[in-house]
Amino acid sequence: MEEDCIVIRIARLSDMEYINEIILETEKSAIARGIGIARRSPESIHLYMKERKAIIAVTASGEWVGFSYISVWENGRFVSNSGLIVAPRFRHTGVAQAIKERVFKLAREQYPHAQIFSITSGMAVMKMNTKLGFEPVTYQEITHDPKFWEGCKSCANHSILLQKGLCNCLCTAMLFDPDKIENHKAKETLVNQHLRIA
C-alpha cells in the first residue's frame, strides 16, 4: 500500500460519491464471510451523511477506505453503532478500530447519556467493542423499537431472529452503559483513596 494519509471524520454530503461503493463492499463482505449483514439503501446512507451521523475514512487523494454510522432509538435512550465496513486493501491496518473509536466518540458527543449498543456476528467487532467498554447482553437489554428490528429483514439470518421471537439470533448484542462506567469509575476512585501502594 502506497503511503497516503487516511483521514477519519464525520461524513458530509460531498461524500455521497462513495455511497454505492459502501453498499457494494458491505454486500460483498457479507457473502465472503458467510454472515448476515443487513443491507442499507442509498437513501438511508445519504440521510446518515446529511444528519452528520456517519463516520467515513478516505485517503488524502480521495480513495474510500471505510464507513460506519449511528442511529438513535427510543428518543435518545439508545444509540446503535452500525455498518462498519472497510475496503479490502485497508483491512488489517488498524483502520477498522480507528473508525469504531470515532463512531463511538460521535455517539458519546451527541448523546452522552444514551446506552450505546452494537449487534454483530464478527469476532473482530466484538473485540473492538470490548476495548471500548461494551459488554455482551441479551436482546432484551437493547432497544425494542420495531424500526430497529425492521433493519434486520434484509439479513440472511432474519428467519432465525423471527423463530426466536426477536429474543436471540446469530448476532451478539453488546451494550455500553455510561451509568455503569461512571459508577465503576466512582467506586474505583473510592477504593484507590483507601489504598497505599508501595
Number of domains in the chain: 1
Whether 125 is in a domain gets the answer: yes
Whether 198 is in a domain gets the answer: no
Residue 120 has a pLDDT of: 87
Whether 151 is in a domain gets the answer: yes
Whether 114 is in a domain gets the answer: yes
CA distances (Å), origin 157, targets 106, 128, 164: 29, 23, 11
Residue 174 has a pLDDT of: 96
Whether 77 is in a domain gets the answer: yes
Residue 152 has a pLDDT of: 78
Query: Which of 66-70, 99-103, 117-121, 181-185 is predicted least confidently?
Result: 181-185
* Residue range(s) defining the domain that contains residue 150: 6-193
CA-based nearest residue to 86, from 56, 51, 41: 56
Give 105-149 pLDDT, tens digit per residue. 999 999 999 999 999 888 899 999 999 999 999 999 999 998 888
The 10 Å Cβ neighbour count of residue 187 is 10
The phi and psi torsions of 17 (rounded to 5 degrees) equal -60, -20
User: CA 98 to CA 147: how far, in whole Å?
Assistant: 28
CATH number for the domain including 164?
3.40.630.30
Whether 1 is in a domain gets the answer: no
Whether 167 is in a domain gets the answer: yes
Average per-residue pLDDT for the chain: 86
Residues 6+ apart with CB under 8 A from 116: 78, 79, 80, 81, 104, 107, 108, 134, 175, 176, 178
Whether 54 is in a domain gets the answer: yes
User: CA 56 to CA 102: how far, in whole Å?
Assistant: 9
User: CA 100 to CA 178: how far, in whole Å?
Assistant: 17
